[in-house]
Amino acid sequence: MKKVLVILALLAVTGIASAELVTDGDFENGATGWAAWNNAGIADHTADYGGTAPNTDAGVWWTDGGVAQEVTGIVPGDYSFSIDTLIGHDAFQLTGDRQVIAQVDMFHWNDGGWWDYWYTAGVVSVSGLDSPAADSVISDGFDFTVTTNPEGDWTEMAKVYLHMVDAGGSGNGYWDNASITAVPEPATMALLGLGGLLLRRKK
């Protein structure tokens, strides 16, 4: 019985530590939770980028634009953001100064009753000047730490922006597998390690 309880506790802690905060980050559900602007939308690349099926993603075609999602319920702690940037294939390869950008901005709720921009947690950018190969998938990301906000009320929001800046050049940009997860604290990791030792001793 104790072994079962230990396993359940480990599963609960692991689930909390690795919970996904972005809704429909793989864009397989019609971009649920995402808002688009300008010439942005959902693209079907089932036959491209490795040929996995289904494989839909968010894309911007030939202009400034993108998609964004507000991720609420952020509390102080460490987080990890990851994203796949898909470079336009065939005649739509990214060239010149055109940039495909993924960034996470932090906001906090103020006493006036609206969200205030706080800071940019991180940016992932691919430009045509980087000479990416057509049909390439670039996996990247960053870690960031959220502290107690200036209002001190712990009410915070991360906004994920996936957008293209048309500063010259040509080509399209696409994104897939956008993700924000909480990074386990050292105490949580220690608990997982202790649980593992207890299970070994039970064998």
For every residue of 68-87, DSSP letters joined together read EEEEEEE-SEEEEEEEEEEE
Across 160-174, average pLDDT:
86
What integer pLDDT is reported at residue 202 of this predicted model?
A: 55
What integer pLDDT is reported at residue 54 of this predicted model?
A: 61
What integer pLDDT is reported at residue 186 of this predicted model?
A: 53
Q: How confident is the model at residue 143 (pLDDT cuts 50, 70, 90)?
A: very high
Highest-confidence segment of 28-32, 66-70, 129-133, 185-189: 66-70
Residues 173 and 200 occupy one common structural domain? no
Q: 85 burial class (0-12, 13-18, 19+ CB within 10 angstroms)?
A: buried
What integer pLDDT is reported at residue 15 of this predicted model?
A: 46
Domain extent for 39: 21-183
Number of structural domains in the chain: 2
Residues 203 and 178 occupy one common structural domain? no
Instruction: Give me 136's structure tokens.
Output: 């390439």
More confident residue, 29 or 195: 29
More confident residue, 173 or 78: 78
Residues 163 and 70 occupy one common structural domain? yes
What integer pLDDT is reported at residue 187 of this predicted model?
A: 44
Backbone angles phi, psi at 177, to 5 degrees: 55, 45
Q: What is the pTM of this model?
A: 0.79
Residues 102 and 113 occupy one common structural domain? yes
Would you say residue 84 has pLDDT above 70?
yes
Would you say residue 194 has pLDDT above 60?
no
Residues 71 and 155 occupy one common structural domain? yes
pLDDT tens-digit readout, 104-118: 999 988 777 788 899
Q: How confident is the model at residue 12 (pLDDT cuts 50, 70, 90)?
A: very low
Percent over 70 (pLDDT), the chain: 75
Percent over 90 (pLDDT), the chain: 34
The CATH code of the domain that includes 84 is: 2.60.120.260
In angstroms, the Cα distances linking 68 to 41, 104, 105, 142, 144 are 11, 10, 11, 18, 19
- Mean pLDDT score of the chain, rounded to an integer? 79
Residues 124 and 197 occupy one common structural domain? no
Q: How confident is the model at residue 87 (pLDDT cuts 50, 70, 90)?
A: confident
Residues 85 and 124 occupy one common structural domain? yes
Residues 77 and 170 occupy one common structural domain? yes
> How close are the terminal C-alpha atoms of the chain, in Å?
13
